[in-house]
Amino acid sequence: AFGDASVGNAKPVSLTASSTLVGPDAGGYMLSLIGAPTTTADITARPLTVIGLTGDNKEYDGNTNATASGVAALSGVVGLDDVTLGGTPTFTFVSAGIANDITITTVGYTLGGADAGKYTLIQPTLSADITPILLSLIGLTANNKPYDGTTAATISSYGTLTGYVTGDDVSLNATGASAAFDTPAAGVGKTVTVSGLFLDGTDAGNYTIGSPTTTAD
């Protein structure tokens, strides 16, 4: 047995009176516990993990800042040991671009309590998604037209792309785009939907343009 239960290196370990000899020839021997033999061994700090947290998904914003939800708790505490979880955690995605199940690293959790020295804390590793931002067009304008029995529409201006992170390389590609009224009937302020738009630029993969709408007569 160790002399005590505290964490330490090269701690004395001695045989106790409960030690016995076994084997077919054990009867020919007697175990003397006078000056009981000793050796040494280590008691290392017990690792604790943090449970109860889930990484939060977010829209792409150009940075690696992350958040988590849930109630953090310690797992692995022995018996009634006095050890508590404290500190101010910081969560960080390992990459800023859009993807699913991106690893989130954590720093800042600490251990407290009278028995904290018997333990070591493993900071939690989480994961979450970064999803693309839907961009919009300010100033998208469709031309009015006389009734012709079709929904065909034309665009006079695609306006200005907006909603992207400052400094990102992303631009509108309207080559091959088309537009259509919602119905062929005559009317004022009719919805016109644009399809076939694409995004260009090195950061375009972090965004989507969808099918923006405007109105015309």
Average pLDDT of span 97-117: 97
* Cα angle value 149/152/156 (rounded, 5°): 135
Residue 165 has what DSSP assignment? P
Q: What residue type is assigned to position 131 of the chain?
A: T
Q: What is the pLDDT of residue 195?
A: 97
Measured distance CA(188)–CA(216) in Å, rounded: 7
C-beta of residue 33 within 8 angstroms of C-beta of residue 44: no
* Structure confidence by residue, pLDDT tens digits, 74-105: 999 999 999 999 999 999 999 999 999 999 99
pTM for the whole structure: 0.79
For residue 5, pLDDT over 90 is answered with no
Strands 155-157 and 141-142: antiparallel
Both structure tokens of 202: 């090195």
Quickly tell me which residue has 């201006």 as its tokens. 157
Residue that wins the pLDDT comparison between 189 and 18:
189
Q: What is the pLDDT of residue 38?
A: 75
What percent of the chain is modeled with pLDDT above 70? 93
* Structure confidence by residue, pLDDT tens digits, 118-154: 999 999 999 999 999 999 999 999 999 999 999 999 9
For residue 10, pLDDT over 80 is answered with no
What percent of the chain is modeled with pLDDT above 90? 80
Q: What is the pLDDT of residue 198?
A: 97
pLDDT band, very low/low/confident/very high, at 117 (cuts 50, 70, 90): very high
